[in-house]
Amino acid sequence: MKSDIIKELRMGLRTSRFLVITTSFLFFAILTPIMMKFILPQLLLNQFPGMNAASISDMIDMSQKGAILGYMSDLFEIGAIIVVFALSGLLAQEIKENTMVLPICSGKKLFSILTSKLLVFSIFLMLASTFGMVICYLYAGVLFSFDIGLWSVIVIGLLYGGYMIFLVNLVMFFGTIIKNSIGTGFMTLGFSLFLYFIGSYLNMHIYLPSGLLIGAQSILSHHSYQNLGITLVASVTISLAMSITTLIRLQNKEWNER
């Protein structure tokens, strides 16, 4: 498996997947506090010339917590799109181009190939999400003030990383079905938003990976870790089930298909 992990690391670097995702996370981590501190207040003043600083503060949460909350929103709304389409070809493209045939014929196990992809990109996304959250925390603290504990921010970053891992599992699962990178990306986004809607409508985020995002918001707003353990267990179970299903589909595939 070591050689497969090295291969995925090299592939991530060569295709700029690591660079694109890291750059986008850092871009929003730095831009969001600037928007909260300078750009949004100025836009409001231009729109409403008679507005004073107190009124602006009532409309915008101009604090470290508000900046981090804005960054969390950016990660969910835009960061998830970047992650999904950056990784949409992780399996779909290889299946479409039959580039997995040679490793399989040379004795590589599908379990090893799939696991190496999950390990490399799961660890990367966990680190990138946490690093971006810490950068936002530090920059927002400099612009405003440090009113949140660093440990809470690290936990929030890890939770968002966990949700990104769920998206990776979705990408790989749909990649075995659609076998097209763009189609896989849209299907992954559509299904993840559908699950989020179901979780909100039926009030069952606690049993879905989307509960990781809700838990992160609860930690930031109320310092509450309530029901987080249940959500973690449910998220790991769902991700494992999807990984196993993906592996079974790969094992049952006819690799000489055109």
Dump pLDDT digits (tens) for 165-178: 999 999 999 999 99
DSSP character for 205? Answer: G
Q: Which residue is it, tokens 């079974």?
A: 248
Rounded Cα distance, 257 and 180, in Å: 15
96 contacts 180 by C-beta, under 8 angstroms: yes
> pLDDT above 70 covers what percent of the chain?
97
How many Cα neighbours within 13 Å face the side chain of 185? 14
Does the pTM of the predicted model rise above 0.85?
Answer: yes
Nearest one of 119, 99, 87, 73 to 185, comparing CA atoms: 87
pLDDT above 60 for 258: no
Over pLDDT 90: what percentage of the chain? 72
Evaluate if residue 4 carries a pLDDT over 60.
Answer: yes
- The pLDDT, as a whole number, for residue 46 is 81
245 pLDDT more than 60: yes
Which alpha helices (DSSP H) does 144-203 contain, by range?
A: 150-178, 181-201
Confidence of residue 9 (pLDDT cuts 50, 70, 90): very high
How far apart (Å, rounded) are the C-alpha atoms in residues 12 and 98?
19
pLDDT of 247 strictly over 90: yes
Q: How far apart are CA 165 and CA 182, in angstroms?
A: 19
| Mean predicted confidence (pLDDT) in 145-173 | 96
Q: Does residue 257 register a pLDDT over 60?
A: no
What pLDDT does 96 receive? 85
Asked if 92 and 184 count as a contact pair (C-beta separation under 8 A), the reply is yes
Note the pLDDT of residue 25: 97
Q: Report helix, strand or coil for 128.
A: helix
Arithmetic mean of pLDDT, 142-157: 94
Confidence of residue 256 (pLDDT cuts 50, 70, 90): low
Stretch 42-70: mean pLDDT: 81
Q: Which two tokens stand for residue 156?
A: 């929030």
Mean pLDDT of the chain: 91
Choice between 26 and 256, residue whose per-residue pLDDT is larger: 26
Q: How far apart are CA 77 and CA 81, in angstroms?
A: 7
Query: What tens digit of pLDDT does each residue of 71-87 get?
Result: 999 999 999 999 999 99
Please provide residue 5's backbone torsions phi and psi, each rounded to the nearest 5 degrees: -65, -45
Q: Answer yes or no: are the C-beta atoms of 212 and 160 closer than 8 Å.
A: yes
Residue 255's pLDDT is: 62
CA within 13 Å, CB half, 22: 12
**Residue 39: count of CB within 10 angstroms of its CB:** 11
| pLDDT, tens digit, 9 for 90 and up, residues 94-138 | 888 888 877 877 778 899 999 999 999 999 999 999 999 999 999
Instruction: Express the helix, strand and coil content of the chain in percent, nearest 5 each.
Output: 80, 0, 20
Q: What is the DSSP letter of 206?
A: G
